[in-house]
Each structure stands twice: as structure tokens, then as C-alpha cells.
Structure 1
Amino acid sequence: MQPLLVRDIRKLLQGELICGSELWKVREAIYYHRHDLTKKHTLMFVSRSDSINWNEINKKGPSLVISDKPHSELNKALPNTTVIKVRSLVQAYWKFIEYYRNLFQIPVVTITGTCGKTTTKEMIKHILSKDRNVHASESSKNEPRRSFPYLMGIDEKTDAAVFEHGLGNSGNITHQCMIYQPTIGIITNIGVHHLDGCKNLEGYIKAKSEIVEGIKKGGTLILNADDENTKKVPIQSFKGKIIYFGTNMRSDFRASNIKVSKNGMSFLLHHSNNTYESFIPGYGEHQVYNALAALAAVNVMGMNINEAITRLATYQNMSRHLEFFSGIGGSTIIDDTWTNNPTSVEAALKVLDSIGKGKNVILVLGDINRLGNFEKKYHREIGSMVAKRNIHTLVTIGNKAEEIAKQAMQDGTEANVHIFKDVYGLKEILEPLLDSKAILLIKGPMSSRSMIEFASSLKKDN
């Protein structure tokens, strides 16, 4: 965070100094009880309903409390604590955010989509970081409550920022955009997820579409030209620039001649009547789409395409994102236990299609969560997708995933099907199948610690 003088903050918020000194600088900012108080020189917004641990705050002093609580609850006169009373905490909070964000005239990218958010974010960060100071959200930790601390992570040394949007319910992306005020927004794709919070697919598309209105005036919107649900995003009122990526001829960043190469995907990039040979580490056509979105974003920020492609080729694929390992008995293990939704399952199956030929393919699938009333429908659709493929062994783990197995058998799969409630006993079934001709894909939700640990146990070094 860029240090701010307490006196200047009081003047900005038109607050009343209740006690303490205002001649020191704030270096951190949190919303009390939403975020942990860990450092000195911290500003904290405290709501009327919050119970305050004054001793804790004073020990971490100097501290600044901003609140709209009554005078009687704020007049503590502690040596290391400054207290400022405001008329409305909500108004003060948003006024502070507006002020702080506008201290920095830098490109801010925000990314939403069913799949590829984290990977695209990390690609952008990787490409830019060679000569720019890039601030980014951490891993896939994208919940709305993290947005304020992420914004506070921007300081005078930051050249660019890139964040991904978390979505649990409608309104989440609108809220985050109000904090980040992105200059570039990306929708990677829109599949099916979070239907428990958005009620149905239409509600989910509408929630994803909130990014369109959230981009700063004159900004850029980057969209997947090939994605059917993204085509339903209303863009008529968007006043900025729209860039499309994909394999579709209308794409501004278009990929062709996509091929599986050693350790990744090669493709031709077509942009502005020029063609570039390109490579991205990591398998799957979906990885090429992520790369196209990242290349479009950094190009908007002024980076030369050739330079961006060169840097992209050194990108290190994220762990547990279709991560390849040597496994037991000389088998190939693909660990895809980072996230689980119908779109990412389909992408993983397409990877198996391209690299599993001539192999004994073993598929281990876990529950897909947050599908609301459509839980059985989408698990069954995956079962039908599996049945069409040359799968030697299908294993499902969990009560929800059982529907995948049932549907695959109903559709006439030739796979040997095993249904498990959990991972216990699974290794005894799989170990005899693992040899140099076997390729095993394990895919489950990041909430399943047991599936993550089981995937790790199949690797050669364990």
C-alpha cells in the first residue's frame, strides 16, 4: 500500500478526530473482522455492529480506527490508537476506495470465466514480469472479500495489476469491479458452475456479464469468439474497445494449426494481417485459448507480439492443472485436481483424446459441486461424454459422481466401471493396472483433500 498521512485521510472522509495523533502514515488497510489485523500502521474500517478488541488494536499500534459508532463507544484515548468518527461507514469506505484506486493510472486487468481464469492471470503476469512490476491476486483465491486487500497491494512501484473475479452469487463481480475499476476485462469462457447461487444457466451468464459494466470508461473487453454462452453476454451498451480471440475467423487474435507438441501446444497466431509461430507449455486446446486471451491483454498494454510470444513459451504450467507425472509401474499420471466443473472435465477429456491413443486409459472422476438443482443433469451429461470415448477403466468417487458411472453404463460404455464413495480401497484396484501402457487422469474438486493426496500417492516418487 502507498503510505497515506492520517490527517489527509480524515480530511478526505470529512471525519472527526476523536482521539490520537493524525501525524503518522497508514501503510495497511483492512475492514475489521473481515480481514486479519496483523501489522502496525493499519487503517481499519469498523462497522456499528462490530465488537472492538481495543487492546489488540492498540498492541498493533499505531492503528487507525474509522467508524460510525457513537462517541461513547469510540472515545478510548489509547496511546497507540487514533480514532476518527464518520457519518456513514459505508460511504467513507467507498470514498476511500475511489480515492485510492485513482491514485494509480495503470492498466488493471480483471478476469472471469468458468475455466482458465487463474491460468490466464498467471500467463499475463509471467509475460509482463520480465520488465514490469506486476501485482496480482494469489493463486485462485478470488473471493470478493479479498478484493479490498488486493487493491491495497497496489503502490507507487506497481506498473500493472491483474486479478481474477470470484463468483458465488449474482452481484459479486459488480462489487469487485467497483473496487478494482478494471481498464481491461476478460471473459475466458462461460460453461456451467455456481448454479446454486445463480439459480440457472441464464442467471450464471448474467452474473458473468457484470464485468461488462464494470470496466472503466474507454477500457477494453476481451471475449472468446468461439464460446456459445459468451455470445449471449449483452455488449450493446459497452462503450470501449472489444477484442475477440479464438479459432473463429472473426477473432482479432486467432489460432490455427493447433497441434500437440513436446510438453505443450504449438499453433499459429494470426493478428493484424500477421502470422506468428507460437507455443504454450501445457496440453489441451483450452490452453491455447488461455494463451490467446493473455496475448491480447498484454498487447493492449503495449507489448510487442513477438516479445510476448517468446516470453509465453517459458511459462511454467500451474500445479494440479493437467499436470503430468511419471507414475507407479511406468504409467503416466495426469493430476487435474485443481478444480472440477463440466467445462473443465470436457477439456480434460479432449486432452485424453489427443494423447491417450494406443494407451490403456484410466479415468478417475470426483464430485462436481455447486450445480444446485441441476446436479444430476450435468453429472449424467459427463457420463454420456465418457461413454463415447475409448476408456479402459472408469472410477467415480463420491455420491454425486456416481451418476457419471450410471449414465456411462446406461450409454453402453466398454470401460470397466468402479463406483467408490471415497478413495479408500481405490489404490488396490488401480495398482495392478498401472504399467507403461497406462495413462491415468484423476480429476476432482480442490475441496477434496483426499483426492489430492491420492493423486500424489500415484506418482513415482511416492
Structure 2
Amino acid sequence: MKPLLVKDIRELLQGELISGSENWQVKDAIYYKRHDLTEQHTLLFVSRSDSVNWQEINQKGPSLVISDKPLSELKNALSNTTVIKVASLVQSYWKFIKYYRGLFTIPVVTITGTCGKTTTKDMITHMLSKERNVQASVSSKNEPRRSLPYLMGIDDQTEAAVFEHGLGNSGNITHQCMIYQPTIGIITTIGVHHLDGCKNLEGYIRAKAEIVDGIKKGGTLILNADDINTRKIPLQAFEGKIVYFGVGMRADFRASTIQFANHGMTFQLHYNKKTYEAFIPGYGEHQVYNALAALAAVNEMGMDLNEAISYLATFKNMTRHLEFSNGVGGSTIIDDTWTNNPTSVEAALKVLDSIGQGKNVILVLGDINRLGQFEKKYHREIGRLVAKRNVHTLITIGSKAEEIARQAIRDGSTATIHMFKEVKGLKELLDPILDSEAILLIKGPMSSRSMIDFANSLKLNP
């Protein structure tokens, strides 16, 4: 965080100094009870309803408390704590955020989508970091409550920022955009997820579309030209530049000649009447789409495309994102236990269509959560996708995933099919069929520690 003088903050918020000194600098800002207080020189937004541990705040002092609590409560502050009373904490909170974000004219990229958010964010960060100081969200930790700390990570040395949007309910992306005020927004793809919070697919699309209104006026929106659900987003009111990526001729950043190569994908990038040869580590056409979105973003920020493509070739995928490993018995293990939704399952199956040719394909598929009333519908659709493929063995784990197995059976799958309630007993079933001819995909929710541990148990140490 860029240090700010307490006195300047009080004047900004038109607050009343209740106690303490205002002649020192704040070096961090949190919302009390939502974020941990770990550092000295921290500003804490304390709501009227919060129960305050003044001793803890004082021990981490000097601390600054901004609150609309009654004066009688605020006078309980100890000597190492400065207290400023404001008329409305909510208004003060947003006024502070708007002010702090306004201190910086750097490009800020935010990314949403059913799949590819984290990978695209990490690709952009990887390329930009070769030349710039970049502030980025960590891994897939994208919940709205993390947005304030991420914003506070921007300081005078920051030259660009890249953040991932979390979505559990409608309004989440609007909230985060109010904090980040992105200059560039990306929608990777819109499939099916979080239907419990968004009610149905239409509600989910509307929730993703919140990024459109969240981009600063005159900013850039980067969209998947080939995604049918993205096309449903109304764009007439958007006041900025729109850049499309994809494989069709509508795309500004277009990929062609996409091929599986050693440890990744090769493709030709067509942009602005020029053609570039590109490589991205990681398998699957979806990986190429992520790369196109990332290249479009860094191009908007002025990076030379030849340099960006060379940096992209050194990108390292996150663990458990279609991660290939040598497995027991000479098998190949594909660990895709990072996230689980219908879109990512289909993408993984498409990778197997190419990589698994001539192999005994084994699928281990877990429950897909957060589908609300459409839970059975989408599990059955995955069963239909499996039944169309040449699969040696299908194993489902969990009561929800049983619908995948049942539908595959109904559709005449030739696979040997097993339904497990949990991981226990699975290894004994797999050991006899894991050999050099076997390629096993394990895909489950990141909340399933047992599936993650089981995937790791199948891998041989390099």
C-alpha cells in the first residue's frame, strides 16, 4: 500500500478525531472481522455492529480505527490507537476505495469466466512480469472479501495489476469492479456453474455480464467470439473498445493450425494482418483460447507481440490443471482436481480424444457441486459425453456423480462402469489395469481432499 497520512484520511472522510495522533502514516487497510489484523500502521474499517477487541488492535498499533459506532464505544480505545468517527462507515469505505484506486493510472485487468480465469490471469502476469512490476491475485483465491487486500497491494512501484473475479452469487462481480475499477475486462468462456446462487443459466450469464458495466469508461472488453453464451450478453451500452478472440473469422485475435505438440499446443496467431507462430505449454484447445485472451490483454497494454509470444512459451501451468504425470504400473495420470464443472469436464474429455488415442482410457469423475436444481441434468449430460467416447473404464465417486454412470449405461457405453461413494477401495480396483497402456483422468472438486490425495498417490515421484 502507498503510505497515507492519517490527517489526510480524516480530511478525505470528513471525520472527527476522537482520540490519538493523526501525524503518522497508514501502510495497510482492512475491514475489521473480514480480514486479519497482522501489521502495524493499519487502518481498520469497524462497523457499528462489530464487537471490538481494543486490546488486540492496540497491540498491533499504531492503528487507525474508522467507525460510525456511538461515541461511548469509541472512547474505549487504548493509547496506541487513533480513532476517527464518521457519519456512515459504508460511505466512508467506498469513498476511501475510490480515492485510493484513483491515485494510480496503471492498467488494471480483471477476468471472469467459467473456466480459464486463473490460467489466463497467470499467463498475463507471467508475460507482464518480464518487464513490469505486477500486482496480481493469488492462485484461485478470488472471493470478493479478498478484493480490498489485493487493491491495497498496489503502490507507487506497481505498473500493472491483474485480478480474477470470484462468483458465487449475482452482484459479486459488480462489487469487485467497484473496488478494482478495471481498465480491461476479460470473459474467457461462459458454461455452467454456481446455479445455486444464480438460479439458472440465464441468471449466471447476467452475473458474468456484470463485468461489462464494471469496466472504466473508455476501457477494453476482451471476449470469446466463439462462445455461444457470451454472445447473449448485451453490449449496446458499453462505452469502450471490444476485442474478440477465437478460431472463427470474427475474432481479432485468431488461432489456426492448432496442434498437439510435445508438452503443449502449437498454433498460428493472426492479428492485424500479421501471422505469428506460437506455443503454449499445456494440452487442449481451451489452453489456446486462454492464450489468445492473455495475448490480447498484453497487446492492449503495449507489449510487443513477438516478445509476448516468446514469454508465453515459458509459462508454467498450475498444479492439478490437467497435470500429466508418470503413474503406477507405467500408466499416465492426468490430475485435473483443481475445479470441477461441466465445461471443464468437457474440455478434459476433448484432450483425451487426442492424447488417449490407442490407450486404455480410465475416467475417475467426482461430484459437481453448486448446480442447484439442475444437478441431475448436467451430470447426465456428462454421462452422454462419456458414452460417445471409447472409454475403457468409468468410475464415479460420490452420490451426485452416480448420475454420470447411470446415463452412460443408458446411452450404451462400452466402458466397464463402477460407482463408488468414496475413494476407499478404489486403488484395489485400479491396480490390475494401470499399466503402460492406461491413461487415467481424475477430475473432482477442489473441496474433495480425498480425491486430491488419491490422485497424488497414483503419481510416481519424478
Question: TM-score interval w.r.t. the shorter chain?
Answer: over 0.9
C-alpha distance in structure 1 between counterparts of 2:334 and 2:309, whole Å: 26
C-alpha displacement of 1:28:
0.7
C-alpha distance in structure 1 between counterparts of 2:51 and 2:273, whole Å: 62
Q: Is the 2:57–2:63 Cα contact (8 Å) retained in structure 1?
A: yes
Q: Runs in 1 of length 4+ with deviation above 4 angstroms? A: none
C-alpha distance in structure 2 between counterparts of 1:139 and 1:169, whole Å: 20
State the match for 2:395 in structure 1: 395
Q: Is the 1:19–1:76 Cα contact (8 Å) retained in structure 2?
A: no
Q: Superposition pairs for residues 196-275 of structure 1, below 5 Å? A: 196-275=196-275
State the match for 2:372 in structure 1: 372
C-alpha distance in structure 2 between counterparts of 1:360 and 1:250, whole Å: 38
C-alpha distance in structure 1 between counterparts of 2:95 and 2:460, whole Å: 55
SS at match of 2:291: helix
SS at match of 1:105: coil
C-alpha displacement of 1:460:
1.4
C-alpha distance in structure 1 between counterparts of 2:306 and 2:77, whole Å: 60
Unmatched runs of 5 consecutive residues or more in structure 2: none
Which string of whole-angstrom CA distances, capped at 9 and with x for unpartnered residues, describes residues 416-447 of structure 1?
Answer: 00100000000000011111110000000000
SS at match of 2:255: strand
C-alpha distance in structure 2 between counterparts of 1:434 and 1:426, whole Å: 12
Which string of whole-angstrom CA distances, capped at 9 and with x for unpartnered residues, describes residues 255-303 of structure 1?
Answer: 0000000000000000000000000000000000000000000000000
State the match for 1:194 in structure 2: 194
Unmatched runs of 5 consecutive residues or more in structure 1: none
SS at match of 1:124: helix
Which string of whole-angstrom CA distances, capped at 9 and with x for unpartnered residues, describes residues 161-183 of structure 1?
Answer: 00010001100000000000000
* Paired letter, 1:201: L
State the match for 2:149 in structure 1: 149
Q: Is the 2:364–2:442 Cα contact (8 Å) retained in structure 1?
A: yes
Q: Is the 1:20–1:82 Cα contact (8 Å) retained in structure 2?
A: yes
C-alpha distance in structure 1 between counterparts of 2:19 and 2:380, whole Å: 63
Which string of whole-angstrom CA distances, capped at 9 and with x for unpartnered residues, describes residues 389-438 of structure 1?
Answer: 00000000000000000000000000000100000000000011111110
C-alpha distance in structure 1 between counterparts of 2:458 and 2:329, whole Å: 10
2:67 equivalent to 1:67: yes
State the match for 1:166 in structure 2: 166
Q: Superposition pairs for residues 51-450 of structure 1, below 5 Å? A: 51-76=51-76, 78-450=78-450
The TM-score normalised by the length of structure 1 is 1.00
C-alpha displacement of 1:203:
0.2
Q: What percent identity do the matched residue pairs reach?
A: 79
C-alpha distance in structure 1 between counterparts of 2:7 and 2:388, whole Å: 67
State the match for 1:21 in structure 2: 21
SS at match of 1:302: coil
Residues paired across the two proteins, number: 462
Q: Is the 2:54–2:77 Cα contact (8 Å) retained in structure 1?
A: no
* Paired letter, 1:348: A
SS at match of 1:45: strand
C-alpha distance in structure 2 between counterparts of 1:12 and 1:270, whole Å: 49
C-alpha displacement of 1:77:
5.0
Query: What root-mean-square deviation, in Å, do the aligned CA atoms of Structure 1 and Structure 2 show?
Result: 0.7
The TM-score normalised by the length of structure 2 is 1.00
C-alpha distance in structure 2 between counterparts of 1:447 and 1:77, whole Å: 41
Which string of whole-angstrom CA distances, capped at 9 and with x for unpartnered residues, describes residues 102-143 of structure 1?
Answer: 000000000000000000000000000011000000100000
C-alpha distance in structure 2 between counterparts of 1:311 and 1:249, whole Å: 26
C-alpha distance in structure 2 between counterparts of 1:396 and 1:216, whole Å: 45
